[in-house]
């Protein structure tokens, strides 16, 4: 991230340094004080300018409700409460959340898209590609929340000795599924494709689970032998876990929403020590990228 000095920021914004200091003292402009000097992240200055963009009559956009859509995550749910953001949550999966974001029905969405790249490996920026391909998100912004561990959720003691998807296929283990459009289901489909299989080759539990914790409960209740969810979901349910991948878990929003008070409360919270402590308690999280801007349209 590129940082500008006070004089550079004033020149960049076509403002006098006195006016810039007024904005700093009122907390109206993104900046950081390091060893007594103010620094201004250039990219966030761009977003700050865009957030105040005036539009002619007839082009005014309706502000989305203060709701976080997309994928469910235990650490994110906790952060929404602890940050004092006032953001509600609506967990419907990455794809459906992105659809709602395009219709301005939510302020932001939690996403973890998955696909294979040209070499047959998991694509590292599948969520970026999804935003780029969304027809109504010309002003999209992707902010890192955490990296998290996904894998096989199993009954205590792993009675079937499942260590991989190959084992699940070979032994005909009952696999709990997630609904289409969720990141976990996309991950399962991609991992199956890597071994020349599809979901039809699995012994599936036909009723899909809405969230990772719901899937973990199906395994705990004996309705399934395994399923894909996060390490945190497995631990919360007292289940065994076999890791498969680490994934990016990000927050997508429109650029103008980034500076809304509710979203700023959450963004500021991402740098707090409490988030790192809670991530360590839940296990299966890497919060080091939290708050980084991964993509801007």
CATH classification at residue 41: 3.90.105
Pair 278, 220 in one domain: no
Q: Is the pLDDT of residue 219 over 80?
A: yes
Nearest of 237, 126, 266 to residue 226 by alpha carbon: 237
Q: What pTM does this model have?
A: 0.80
Q: What is the pLDDT of residues 141-159, one digit of tens each?
A: 999 999 999 999 999 999 9
- By percentage, how much of the chain surpasses pLDDT 90? 70
Residues 161 and 233 in one domain: yes
Cβ-contact 106, 64 below 8 angstroms: yes
SS3 sequence of 53-109: CCCCCCCCCCCCCCEEEECCCHHHHHHHHHCCCCCEECCCCHHHHHHHHHCCCCCEE
Q: Residue 58 falls within a domain, yes or no?
A: no
Residue 86 and residue 106 in one domain:
yes
pLDDT digits (tens, 9 = 90+) for 104-146: 999 999 999 999 988 888 998 999 999 999 988 888 999 999 9
Please, what is the average pLDDT of the chain? 91
- The pLDDT value recorded for residue 60 is 47
253 and 119 in one domain? yes
Q: Domain tally for the chain?
A: 3
Same domain as 154, residue 128: no
The pLDDT of residue 51: 62
Residue 42: predicted pLDDT: 80
Q: How many residues does the chain have?
A: 297
Q: Is residue 279 part of a domain?
A: yes
Q: Which residues contact 36 (CB under 8 A, 6 or more apart)?
A: none
Give the residue numbers spanning the domain of 212. 150-246
Q: Given a cut of 50, is residue 34 above it in pLDDT?
A: yes
Candidate from 56-65, 132-141, 161-170 with smallest mean pLDDT = 56-65
User: What confidence tier does 59 reach under pLDDT thresholds 50, 70, 90?
Assistant: very low
Q: Is the pLDDT of residue 56 over 60?
A: no
Task: Tell me the mean pLDDT in the region 60-76.
Answer: 87
Does 60 fall in a domain?
A: no
Mean pLDDT of 165-173: 96
The mean pLDDT value for 206-225 works out to: 95
Angle at alpha carbon of residue 45, lines to 42 and 46, rounded to 5° = 90
Q: What Å distances lie between residue 8 and 63, 68, 136, 178, CA to CA?
A: 33, 36, 34, 50
Would you tell me how many other CB atoms lie within 10 Å of the CB of residue 270?
A: 20
Task: Give yes or no: residues 199 and 226 share one domain.
Answer: yes
Q: Is residue 62 part of a domain?
A: no
135 inside domain: yes
Planar angle of CA 79, 80, 81, nearest 5 degrees: 90
Which residues lie closer than 8 Å to 149 by C-beta, 6 or more apart? 230, 231, 243, 245, 246, 247, 284, 285
- 241 and 156 within one domain: yes
285 domain residue, yes or no: yes
**Same domain (yes/no): 251, 140:** yes
Q: Report whether 225 contacts 175 (CB < 8 A).
A: yes
Under the banding of pLDDT at 50, 70 and 90, the label for residue 236 is very high
Residues 291 and 251 placed together within one structural domain of the fold: yes
Distance CA 140, CA 134 (A): 9
Q: CATH number, domain at 259?
A: 3.40.190.10
Residue 9's pLDDT is 87
Q: How far is CA 223 from the centre of its chain?
A: 29
Separation CA 161–CA 248 (nearest Å): 28
The pLDDT of 173-183, averaged and rounded, is: 95
Do 132 and 254 belong together in one domain? Answer: yes
Q: Judging by DSSP bridges, how do beta strands 32-34 and 37-41 pair with one another?
A: antiparallel
Average pLDDT over residues 193-215: 93
Say what the pLDDT of residue 88 is.
93
214 and 271 inside one domain: no
Residue 284 CA to residue 233 CA, distance in Å, equals 9
Same domain, 81 and 123: yes
Q: Looking at the domain assignment, is residue 85 inside a domain?
A: yes
Q: Which residues of 164-186 are buried (b: 16+ CB within 10 A; e: fewer)?
A: ebeebbeeebbbbbbbebbbbbb
Pairing of strands 108-111, 67-70: parallel
Over the stretch 260-289, which tens digit does the pLDDT of each residue have? Answer: 899 999 999 999 999 999 999 999 999 999
Q: Is residue 198 part of a domain?
A: yes
């Amino acid at each position: 991230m590129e940082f500008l000095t006070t004089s550079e920021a004033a020149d960049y914004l076509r403002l006098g340094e006195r006016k810039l200091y007024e904005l700093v003292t009122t907390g109206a402009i993104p900046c950081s004080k390091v060893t007594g000097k103010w620094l201004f992240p250039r990219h966030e200055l761009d977003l700050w300018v865009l957030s105040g963009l005036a539009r002619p009559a007839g082009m005014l956009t309706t502000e989305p409700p203060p709701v976080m859509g997309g994928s469910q995550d235990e650490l994110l749910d906790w952060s929404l409460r602890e940050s004092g953001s006032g953001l509600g949550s609506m967990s419907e999966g990455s794809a459906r959340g992105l659809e709602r974001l395009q219709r301005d029905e939510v302020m932001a969405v939690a996403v973890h898209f998955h696909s294979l790249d040209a070499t047959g490996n998991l694509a590292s920026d599948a969520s970026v590609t999804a935003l780029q391909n969304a027809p109504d998100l010309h002003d999209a912004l992707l902010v890192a929340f955490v990296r998290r561990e996904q894998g096989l959720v199993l009954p205590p003691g792993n009675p079937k000795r499942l260590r991989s998807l190959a084992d699940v296929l070979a032994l005909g283990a009952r696999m709990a599924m997630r609904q289409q459009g969720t990141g976990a289901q996309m991950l399962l489909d991609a991992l199956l494709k890597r071994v020349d299989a599809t979901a039809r080759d699995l012994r599936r539990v036909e009723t899909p689970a809405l969230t990772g914790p719901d899937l973990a409960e199906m395994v705990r209740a004996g309705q399934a032998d395994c399923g894909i969810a996060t390490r945190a979901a497995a631990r919360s349910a007292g289940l065994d876990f076999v890791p498969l991948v680490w994934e990016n878990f990000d927050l997508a929003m429109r650029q103008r929403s980034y500076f809304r008070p509710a979203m700023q409360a959450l963004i500021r919270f991402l740098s707090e020590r409490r988030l790192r402590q809670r991530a360590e308690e839940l296990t299966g999280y890497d919060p080091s990228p939290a708050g980084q801007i991964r993509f801007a349209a």
